[in-house]
């Protein structure tokens, strides 16, 4: 298994590269020659496979685990990474991440360089670290789930703004969603604390940012054993427009209609189906049940600050912690 050093001759690492060629409007495919050239500087047995459609990365990842590879390098965005994670589940095969997608929020929180060649060297020369793995219903995720307004924003971003990336794509989608969004009654339960309200959005995240850098949960840490929750009551269009500038630096958390919490077990329920985004993929449901598996995802080359983790086995009263 990868151990954070260059392998000596005869000590060959078996590496699978899973590339989404259309990620980032073709950015991944354009970087392919540079990535392969950089990887060939290491004593590794390389196997490159490009995805050919929805969920193909999940099947490739399953086959990779069965084949006994030492490392999977994901070349794509948060959506491609999500598919790979759903293919490996709770297996401990290390992941290396080269962010070539639209937002690359998870790659950024891992401290991965934007330059693909620099990312290769950081992965191949770096140590492995354990971060938290998240689950909602039957699916794993690594970064974020957003319900309501957030889900519809992701829907519009995926459908109509592929010529722009990151924060700009997210902002364009926000303005389009403003024209059609309607309030929805949500029941939110965080570690036994129950809240019912007319919602604008509920974001349950492992990482602090989404949408290409918007700090929806600024205090979130990917290795602290807790979800971070941002619950926002319904706002009028003028209120939303006034609050948008606060989202980028994370200042929205001081607003009266915003509640920030941390917890281990989260449930979001509604009487009618709602849109939600799962690491950027848009789905619909009426009930979402969140669980977190601490330190279950192994990442190679990440630069993540250690945090003081809570004792997850201790008996504690059911309540949500205020962020």
In angstroms, the Cα distances linking 39 to 29, 81, 118, 120, 123 are: 15, 19, 11, 7, 10
In a domain, 302, yes or no: no
Query: Looking at residue 150, what is its pLDDT?
Result: 80
Q: Among candidates 185, 190, 168, which has minimal Cα distance to 289?
A: 190
Choosing from 100, 126, 152, the residue where a domain stops is 126
Contact assessment for residue 113 and residue 121, using Cβ atoms and an 8 Å cutoff: no
Does residue 280 share a domain with residue 148?
yes
* Pair 120, 152 in one domain: no
Q: Has residue 107 been placed in a domain?
A: yes
What pLDDT is stored for residue 167 in this prediction?
Answer: 63
228 in helix, strand or coil? strand
Domain that holds residue 232: 141-294
Category of 200 on φ-ψ map: left (φ > 0), alpha (ψ -120 to 50) or beta: alpha
When divided into structural domains, the chain yields a total of 2
Residues 100, 152 within the same domain: no
Residue 238 in domain: yes
Does residue 69 belong to any structural domain of this protein?
yes
Q: Assess whether 145 and 120 both reside in one domain.
A: no
In a domain, 309, yes or no: no
In-domain check, residue 6: no
Tokens 């449901």 label which residue? Answer: 285
- Domain CATH for 23: 3.40.50.10330
110 & 168 share domain: no
Please tell me whether residues 290 and 145 are part of one structural domain.
yes
User: What pLDDT is stored for residue 191 in this prediction?
Assistant: 96
Whole-structure pTM value: 0.87
> Does 219 map to a domain?
yes
The reply to whether 67 and 145 lie within a common domain is: no
Same domain, 201 and 105: no
CB 108 within 8 A of CB 53: no
pLDDT in tens, the chain (323 residues): 433 334 444 568 999 999 999 998 889 999 999 999 999 999 899 999 999 998 999 999 999 999 999 999 999 999 999 999 999 999 989 999 999 988 899 999 999 999 999 999 999 999 999 999 999 999 999 999 999 888 877 777 766 555 555 567 667 777 888 877 888 899 999 999 999 999 999 999 999 998 788 899 999 999 999 999 999 999 998 998 888 889 888 999 999 999 999 999 999 999 999 989 999 888 999 999 999 999 999 999 999 988 765 544 444 434 455 65
| 8 found inside a domain | no
- Can you tell me whether residue 134 is helix, strand or coil? strand
Which CATH number goes with the domain that contains 224? Answer: 2.60.200.40
Spatial separation of the C-alpha atoms in residues 247 and 20, rounded to whole Å: 30
58, 92, 126 - which closes a domain? 126
The answer to whether residues 55 and 89 belong to one domain is: yes
d(CA 98, CA 7): 20
- Residue that is last in its domain, among 63, 97, 126: 126
Residues 95 and 159 in one domain: no
Tokens of 70: 């030492």
Same domain as 151, residue 118: no
């Amino acid at each position: 298994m990868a151990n954070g050093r260059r392998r000596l001759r005869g000590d060959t690492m078996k590496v699978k590269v899973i590339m989404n060629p259309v990620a980032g409007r073709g950015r991944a495919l354009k970087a392919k020659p540079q990535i392969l050239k950089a990887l060939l500087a290491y004593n590794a047995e390389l196997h490159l496979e490009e995805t050919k459609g929805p969920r193909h990365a999940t099947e490739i990842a399953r086959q990779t685990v069965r084949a006994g590879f030492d490392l999977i390098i994901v070349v794509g965005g948060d959506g491609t990474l999500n598919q790979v994670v759903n293919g490996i589940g709770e297996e401990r095969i290390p992941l290396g991440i080269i962010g070539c997608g639209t937002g690359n929020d998870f790659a950024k929180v891992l401290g991965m360089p934007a330059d693909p060649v620099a990312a290769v060297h950081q992965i191949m020369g770096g140590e492995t670290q354990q971060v938290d793995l998240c689950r909602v219903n039957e699916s794993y995720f690594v970064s974020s789930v957003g319900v309501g307004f957030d889900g519809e924003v992701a829907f519009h971003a995926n459908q109509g703004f592929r010529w722009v990336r990151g924060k700009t794509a997210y902002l364009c989608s926000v303005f389009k969603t403003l024209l059609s969004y309607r309030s929805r009654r949500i029941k939110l339960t965080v570690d036994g604390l129950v809240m019912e309200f007319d919602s604008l959005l509920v974001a349950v995240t492992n990482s602090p940012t989404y949408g290409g850098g918007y700090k929806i949960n600024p205090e979130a840490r990917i290795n602290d054993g807790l979800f971070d929750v941002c619950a926002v009551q319904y706002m009028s269009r003028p209120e939303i427009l006034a609050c948008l500038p606060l989202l980028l630096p994370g200042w929205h958390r001081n607003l009266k209609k915003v509640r920030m919490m941390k917890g281990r077990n989260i449930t979001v329920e509604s009487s009618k189906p709602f849109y939600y985004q799962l690491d950027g993929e848009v789905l619909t449901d009426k009930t979402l049940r969140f669980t977190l598996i601490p330190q279950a995802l192994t990442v190679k080359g990440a630069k993540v600050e250690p945090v003081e983790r809570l004792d997850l086995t201790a008996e504690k009263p059911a309540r949500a912690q205020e962020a």
